[in-house]
A = this chain, B = another copy of it.
């Protein structure tokens, strides 16, 4: 495990990216030449090439033959973000599950191209190394490790996680870390720890359907708050809401929000944590995509700004290292005792062998190297998929371009009903995740979440083309 100090090329890339995002370098403008940059920064040409290569891979700049590097134009119409419309103000009971199961059931078929799936391509993960780690860990296993007081999880793994948090600038309190059966269990336990049936919980709009299902299962009411595809939850609207009604908790995803991909800016995160602390409302922070940032730095979680233990930070290794191992966790702040008790009551403890496999893998020190490769592969594939969308989807389609994760969110022209598109795609053996899944109020009827986490898979390219064609047909009333 390595720290967060940036290498020279990362620092250079970061500075350039800041300059581009801040408007110092404008779309179409040429970047300083490699020679000039070497002289100016006192670095080697290979460092500059590495930095520029990285910026190219995340789509900020492009190389033009014999001309150098240029800031990419970002104002093509199709790239404009989807619009934000305010959701209903009233709390509503949730009844989304039937729809989710009905729609997602279709992704189980191996012949279907899973554009609607939530998992990236398996070949992106180091299964062989993990299996070796698992075999090694199990040979070393002592019976006492397996029958002791296990509810909070294996101490070695918890230690490794605590170290990682600390290196990322988020020191944890003693005993607030509880290993769970994936982030899904962590989120569900945290939600139950801070609510009672009938309570109101604030979610994003659109929001991850599993959050809506969790609310439904626990007989809670949802209030949705408008969420910007770039900036995340509308803090002002949230403030008004909190002044207006009693809220038991917020369940948000500030980093690469599912489905929007929104990355809430740091200042807004701070404001969010302060606002919730003021109202004593706990924040359940779903951060499963945090490690999959296209930029050089991992965005600090909201948890980083929490001094009162009000943020319950949930994550896992399922999306970035070890799907199927079901190793997740909650850093549950002042609610950790309740979460641990609920864990004990509902599943006693998390399976030990996968925890030991992951702990062994982390101890080997290759995790950050793996993550760098994974991020680059996902960023490259996002650019590729966006080009396909631009080329094949109807005019007027808007699409997000998240700075991490592996989803893009499409707003189709109003004439294209996403559920109709879903059914037509299904007939062509393509699954999609239509927008209605992501709202208790059945909004987002012409929206779609696409999984772009399958680099080099020609079936996915073909499926995106087909989907675009089907959308064009629907738009034309065919």
Q: Please measure, in the bound complex, the distance between the C-alpha atom of A127 and the C-alpha atom of B141, giving whole angstroms.
A: 8
Report the Cα distance A347→B143, complex, angstroms. 26
Indicate the member of A134, A214, A352 with the most B CB atoms within 10 Å: A134
Q: Contacts of A451 on B, CB cut-off 8 Å?
A: none
Residues of B within 8 A of A148 (CB): 108, 110
Q: For the complex, is A325 an interface residue (Cβ under 8 Å from B)?
A: yes
**Interface bits A203-224 vs B (CB < 8 Å: 1, else 0):** 0000000100110010100000
Pick from B131, B146, B188, B345: contact of A122, CB below 8 A.
Answer: B146
A349 vs B183: C-alpha distance in the bound complex, in angstroms?
11
Residues of B contacting A130 in the complex (Cβ-Cβ under 8 angstroms): 138
Query: Within the complex, what minimum Cβ distance (angstroms) separates A210 from chain B?
Result: 7
Residues of A60-114 contacting chain B, CB below 8 A:
97, 101, 107-108, 110
Contact partner, A217, options B125, B192, B326, Cβ 8 Å? B192
Q: Is A232 an interface residue (CB 8 A)?
A: no
B141 with A138: CB separation less than 8 A:
no
- Cβ contacts under 8 Å, A97 to chain B: 341, 345
Min CB distance, A78 to chain B, in Å?
31
A182 touches B (CB below 8 Å): yes
Q: How far is the CA of A103 from the CA of B135 in the complex (A)?
A: 37
Q: Are A147 and B119 in contact (CB under 8 A)?
A: yes
Chain A positions 342 through 375: 1 when the CB is less than 8 Å from some CB of chain B, otherwise 0: 1011111111111001000000000000000000
B147 and A324 contact, CB distance less than 8 A = yes
How far, in angstroms, from A136 to B122 measured CA to CA in the complex?
Answer: 20
**Would you give the 0/1 interface string for A133-166, flagging 1 where the beta carbon is closer than 8 Å to chain B?**
0111011010111111110000000000000000
Q: Are A350 and B181 neighbours in the complex by a CB distance under 8 Å?
A: yes
Q: Check A219 against B197 for contact (C-beta < 8 Å).
A: yes
Contacts of A217 in B (CB 8 A): 192, 342, 345-346
**A123 adjacent to chain B (CB < 8 Å):** yes
A291 sits at the interface (CB 8 A): no
Chain A 321-344 interface residues, beta-carbon cutoff 8 Å to B: 323-327, 341-342, 344
CB-based contact B323/A347 at 8 Å: no
Chain B residues within an 8 Å CB radius of A110: 148
The closest CB in chain B to the CB of A139 belongs to: B131
State the CA gap A342–B218 with chains docked (Å): 11
Q: Which residues of B lie under 8 Å from residue A101 when comparing CB positions? A: 341, 344
Tell me how far the C-beta of A190 lies from the nearest C-beta in chain B, rounded to whole angstroms: 12
**Chain B min CB distance to A153 (Å):** 11
Residue pair B146, A127 in contact (C-beta under 8 Å)? yes
Enumerate chain B residues within 8 angstroms of A146, measured Cβ to Cβ: 122, 127, 323-325
Q: Is A184 an interface residue (CB 8 A)?
A: yes
Partner of A351, one of B149, B196, B210, B327: B327
Tell me if A185 counts as interface (CB < 8 A to partner B). Answer: yes
The reply to whether B214 and A345 contact each other, CB–CB distance below 8 Å, is yes
Contacts of A122 in B (CB 8 A): 143-144, 146-147
Query: 0/1 per residue, A404-415, Cβ < 8 Å to B?
Result: 000000000000
Contact B213 A345 (CB under 8 A): yes
Residue numbers in B under 8 Å from A354 (CB-CB): 351-354
A119 to B122, CA, bound (A): 37
For residue A108, which residues in chain B have a CB less than 8 angstroms away from its CB? 148-149
Give the residue name and chain of the B residue nearest to A324 (CB): B146
Min Cβ gap A426→B in Å is: 16
Task: List, in ascending order, chain B residues with CB within 8 A of A139's CB.
Answer: 131-132, 135
The answer to whether A131 and B125 have CB atoms under 8 Å apart is no
**Which residues of chain B come closer than 8 Å to A344, judged between CB atoms?**
101
- 5 closest Cβ pairs, A-B complex: A146-B324, A135-B135, A122-B143, A131-B138, A108-B149
A-B contact pairs, 5 of them (CB 8 A): A122-B143, A122-B144, A138-B357, A325-B351, A346-B346
**A122-B147, A182-B347, A188-B346 known, 11 other contacts, Cβ within 8 Å:** A108-B149, A122-B144, A138-B357, A147-B324, A182-B348, A185-B347, A326-B350, A347-B347, A351-B354, A353-B354, A353-B357
Binding site for B on A (CB under 8 A): 97, 101, 107-108, 110, 119, 122-123, 125, 127, 130-132, 134-136, 138-139, 141, 143-150, 180-182, 184-185, 188, 192, 196-197, 210, 213-214, 217, 219, 323-327, 341-342, 344-354, 357
